[in-house]
Amino acid sequence: MTLKLYNTLTRCKEEFKPLAPPLVTFYVCGPTVYDYIHIGNARVFIVFDVVRRYLNYRGYRVKMVQNYTDIDDKMIQRAREEGLTVAELAHKYITAYEDDAARLRIRPADLQPRATEHIEPIVKLIQRLEEQGLAYHSGGDVYFNAGGFPGYGQLSHQAPDELLAGARVEPGEWKKNPLDFTLWKGRKEGEPAWESPWGKGRPGWHIECSSMAMHYLGETIDLHAGGADLIFPHHENEIAQSTGATGKLFTRYWLHAGYLNIEEKKMSKSLGNVLTVRRLLEEYNPLDLRFFILSAHYRSPLNFSRELIGQARAGRERLQEFVDNLYRALPGAGTETTGLEEKIRSELISAWRRFDEAMDDDFNTAAAIAVLFELAREGNIYLQKGHPYQRELLEQLLNYFREVNELFEILEIRKPVSLDEELRRMIARREEARRKKDWALADHIRNELQARGIILEDTPHGTRWKHKPGR
């Protein structure tokens, strides 16, 4: 089986062949830490974390770098608004990011460098561009000479003159050409600044990513990812800077995640519909958010609404229920067989294959999740008809879900905790009442337990309980 992925640069699904397998070098454009991250950011980080996990699962050794942009115009402006220094602001929102990401079960990249800690390699890269005649010093700033780089526009598939039509020059800029962009900004009063051959100043936005990507991962990296809105100008400019300096192919495969819209509209400050992860986590289970995001293909636009999260939650709970029921069936299981086991085992093998095929096809998480639903249905048939259950089979199913969950992390896979003495006694009293067909008392106790978050289910093989699903 071969892994295929869609490369924005070629606009084709291509077979994935890393430069130096099993190593895969992977750079993801991280957050500008001037605010809490929103659900659209979260989609990008969740999706590419899953990509990384899947590559690991496929036997690659992934080296993943995700940066923090901790100096730029937005940082400076926001720091003023909040009455903090830029460094304090960065610290505040990096901490917030780490917290939000952890709650969303996003695993940190192997390296999370900050722009301000890499001024030296950034300066060196700009110097290399100067040597190539691709950078010029003008009005205190240093600009990239876009016209001097023949491949400009290759990622966004636009000819330079077409891009020019929409380009603008901000007041106070000293560009020779509207497509040129800042590599180094000269210091203005009250702004953080670092020493450089061009005087005090700070790096431009695009150069930090080129610099850090190459610094940690080499001049040609395998994978480079971000939101679709980074295609132009950010990633276009990264290519121009990197290849401009080295003469080498910068990124072999470009991956871009689709937008997440709110109620059919793009999220934007001006519409006032930006949903921060922080805010959403007050209301929703993080696993529901992950399930929702992974239930669509990563490149498709995805609409966010209360109703859609509700649908996702209901679906996820079905899978969660199955896993919980496997656990609950385990204590009574043994070596007896009912003849159903072979059928379920072959379903498991089939699911395994189809799951991998789906993921090999440009990380089709939606199709992969469908496979899990089908396996859960087969498993439920076994739980319904296979009593007293073969322990080995239950464990195989559980192990498979555990393995898949290492990739998606959409389920809690853990043994049910035991209830405290008082609740256990209530359940026993209800059992007694049911034996005596005292339905009024039995139902009363059941309601009582429900009010305390415990749901009872009477199965042919005894009563079982579960916690009321959260949120």
Q: Cα separation of 112 and 62, whole Å?
A: 14
Query: DSSP alpha helices (H): ranges in 159-304?
Result: 160-166, 205-217, 236-246, 277-283, 286-294
Three-state DSSP at 141 gives strand
Nearer to RNA, 111 or 167 (CB): 167
Among the listed ranges 84-92, 106-114, 379-387, 409-417, the one in contact with RNA (CB under 7 A) is 379-387
Residues 382-401 that bind RNA (CB under 7 A): 383-384
Nearer to RNA, 381 or 419 (CB): 381
Q: Is 428 in the site for RNA (CB under 7 A)?
A: no
Q: Is 226 in the site for RNA (CB under 7 A)?
A: yes
Q: Is 356 in the site for RNA (CB under 7 A)?
A: no
CA-nearest of 56, 97, 42, 13 to 292 is 42
Residues in the chain: 471
Nearer to RNA, 338 or 459 (CB): 459
Q: Is 97 in the site for RNA (CB under 7 A)?
A: no
Q: Supply the minimum distance, in Å, between the C-beta of residue 42 and RNA.
A: 9
Q: Cα separation of 372 and 370, whole Å?
A: 5
Q: Is 310 in the site for RNA (CB under 7 A)?
A: yes
Q: Find where tokens 């062949």 sit.
A: 17
Residues 147-186 that bind RNA (CB under 7 A): 156-159, 162-163, 165-168, 178, 181
Residues 230-249 that bind RNA (CB under 7 A): 230-234
- The reply to whether omega before 121 is within 30° of 0 (cis) is no
Quick one: which of 334, 336, 458, 462 contacts RNA (CB under 7 A)? 458
- Looking at residue 230, the DSSP 8-state letter turns out to be G
Q: Is 338 in the site for RNA (CB under 7 A)?
A: no
Q: Is 29 in the site for RNA (CB under 7 A)?
A: yes
Q: Is 82 in the site for RNA (CB under 7 A)?
A: no
**Is there a contact between 182 and 204 (Cβ–Cβ < 8 Å)?**
yes
Q: Is 257 in the site for RNA (CB under 7 A)?
A: yes
Q: Cα separation of 375 and 84, whole Å?
A: 53
Among the listed ranges 75-83, 113-121, 317-325, 418-426, the one in contact with RNA (CB under 7 A) is 317-325
Q: Is 137 in the site for RNA (CB under 7 A)?
A: no
Q: Supply the minimum distance, in Å, between the C-beta of residue 465 and RNA.
A: 10
Nearer to RNA, 21 or 268 (CB): 268
Q: Cα separation of 464 and 449, whole Å?
A: 12
Q: Supply the minimum distance, in Å, between the C-beta of residue 83 and RNA.
A: 22
Q: Cα separation of 134 and 142, whole Å?
A: 10
Quick one: which of 9, 25, 26, 41 contacts RNA (CB under 7 A)? 41
Q: Cα separation of 107 and 62, whole Å?
A: 13
Quick one: which of 455, 461, 462, 467 contacts RNA (CB under 7 A)? 455
Q: Is 203 in the site for RNA (CB under 7 A)?
A: no
Q: Is 442 in the site for RNA (CB under 7 A)?
A: yes
Rg of the chain, C-alpha, whole Å: 27
Q: Cα separation of 320 and 310, whole Å?
A: 15
Nearer to RNA, 127 or 405 (CB): 405
Q: Cα separation of 42 and 471, whole Å?
A: 20
- Give me the phi and psi of 420, to 5 degrees please: -75, 165
**Number of Cα atoms under 13 Å in the Cβ half of residue 139:** 11
Site string for RNA, 262-301 (x = CB under 7 A): --xxxxx--------------------------xxx--xx
